[in-house]
Each structure stands twice: as C-alpha cells, then as structure tokens.
Amino acid sequence: MSGKDKSLRRGGSREVDRASSRDIDAFLDQARALAPRDGNAGRLLFALDATASREPVWDRAMQIQGEMFLAASRLGSLSIKIAYYRGMMECQALPWSDNAATLLGKMTGIRCAAGTTQIERILKLALAEHGKRKLNALVFVGDCMEENPDRLASLAGQLGIHGVPAFVFQDGHDAVAEKTFRHIVQRTGGAWSRFDAASAAQLRDLLCGVAVFATGGRKALDDFSRGRGEALKLLSRQIKG
C-alpha cells in the first residue's frame, strides 16, 4: 500500500478533512434550498452487494457511503433503508432511518461473506417498499451479476412503470455485470456510474446528487449539478423524464 493510500485509510490530513467538510457544508446549503417543503421525507433504498469479492475495497467504500449518509441525514428530508446480501442466500433489510449515527452504525457493522449475487431480491424489495409508500429511488452498489439477466430486466421494467429510478454504482469492470446494470438503469429511468475508490470526491458528489434527487426530483438534481463536475452532470443527463 502506498503512502497516499495509507493516508486515505487514516482519514487523510487535517487539510483534506477541512476541505471535505467544506464540500459537504456547501452541498448541504444547496440541498436544503432544493428540498421539498411539504413535510414529506423522500425515501431511498440503499442496497449493497456484501459478497466476498468486494472485501478488498470494503472499508474505503464504507467511508464514501458514510459521507452521503451524514450529508443526507442532515437535510432532514430523506429517509434511508439499508439492504444487503451476502453468504448463503442471506439478504437483510434494516429499518428506515433519517439518523446519520444509526445509519452509519448499521452499515459499518456489515461484513462481507462468500456467496452469489441476489439482485433479484433487491429489486423485489424495492417494489414491495414502493407498494407500501412511494419510493423515490433505489441505489445499488455491486461488482458482479450471477443471475438471469432477463428476469432482472423484467423487475426493473416494473420499477420503471412505477417511477422508481435505480442508480447503480459498479465496483470494478466486470463486463457481464456492466451490461446488466446498464439495462436495469435504462428500464427504470435511472443512471449508472463506476464506483471508483480512487475518485472519492467525485463519487461522494454522485451519491449526494442521488440524495438530492430523492428529496427534490429531477429539477433539484439539475440545479445541484450546475457548476459541479462532469460526472454529476452526466448522471443528471442519464435520468429519464
């Protein structure tokens, strides 16, 4: 591990920490202005592949995702449910929460275990949650796909009919997974992006952009993306409608 990587694992220098704090504060200032005023919190299902193949980058992924939770919960207008699969057909869905400490505690307690993908169960969970109360978005972070792509496409189509966009962040470069992930986001009207731990700031902006979308919709995301990186603008352009 390089000296730079070690610094990242320790949280970086004070200067980097202060810069990150300023970035998040700036995000919050913009997002508060864009959040809906009807008193109804947006709902976002945040699903993780926690199989063994993701273990090498798991700690770094937790840090990046945790920054989104901190920012989103401080908006006071977004409720998040964490779901994950791992091991021998284990698929867990945790309670809804808008509390950053609760979300971080639950997420950081998840550990990887060898097993196959269960994306179908995640898509079914999203449909079930939407049936109870409007689900504004699904976020999925994963690196591979070992299921029937036609079945996943069918479920994604159902999410699209109900207006639930899927935002898929791919960890790695598996070609089979990428093809299926892109098909899922096309069917749902969502967006795909690479989950690259080497571009932490960019990824944080993308995840925060999804939080803005879940609280304020497409226009809020368009407004939020102005003046920011090309990746966030591309995310906004990928979303249908």
User: DSSP characters for 35-92?
Assistant: S-SSSPPEEEEEEEE-BGGGGGGHHHHHHHHHHHHHHHHHHTSEEEEEEEEETTTEEE
180 touches 86 (CB < 8 A) = no
Sign of CA dihedral 190, 191, 196, 197: negative
Average pLDDT score over residue span 57-62 = 84
221 touches 213 (CB < 8 A) = yes
Instruction: Give the number of residues written for the chain.
Output: 241
Q: Which two tokens stand for residue 161?
A: 């009919």
The least confident of 19-23, 108-112, 157-161 is 19-23
Higher pLDDT, 34 or 237: 237
Residue 240's pLDDT is: 61
> How many Å apart are CA 133 and CA 130, to the nearest integer?
5
pLDDT at 42 over 80: yes
Query: How many helices and strands (H and E) does the chain possess?
Result: 9, 6
pLDDT digits (tens, 9 = 90+) for 77-106: 788 899 999 999 999 999 998 887 888 889
Residue 199's pLDDT is: 65
Q: Which residues pair with 195 in a beta bridge?
A: 171
> How many Å apart are CA 68 and CA 204, to the nearest integer?
6
For the sheet with 137-142, list strands across it.
90-93, 78-86, 42-49, 137-142, 166-171, 191-195
**pLDDT mean across residues, the chain:** 80
Strands 78-86 and 90-93: antiparallel
> How many Å apart are CA 185 and CA 100, to the nearest integer?
27
Per-residue confidence band for 165, with pLDDT thresholds at 50, 70 and 90: very high
Per-residue confidence band for 237, with pLDDT thresholds at 50, 70 and 90: confident
CA 76 to chain centre: 18
Domains of the chain: 43-238 (3.40.50.410)
Average pLDDT score over residue span 203-220 = 78
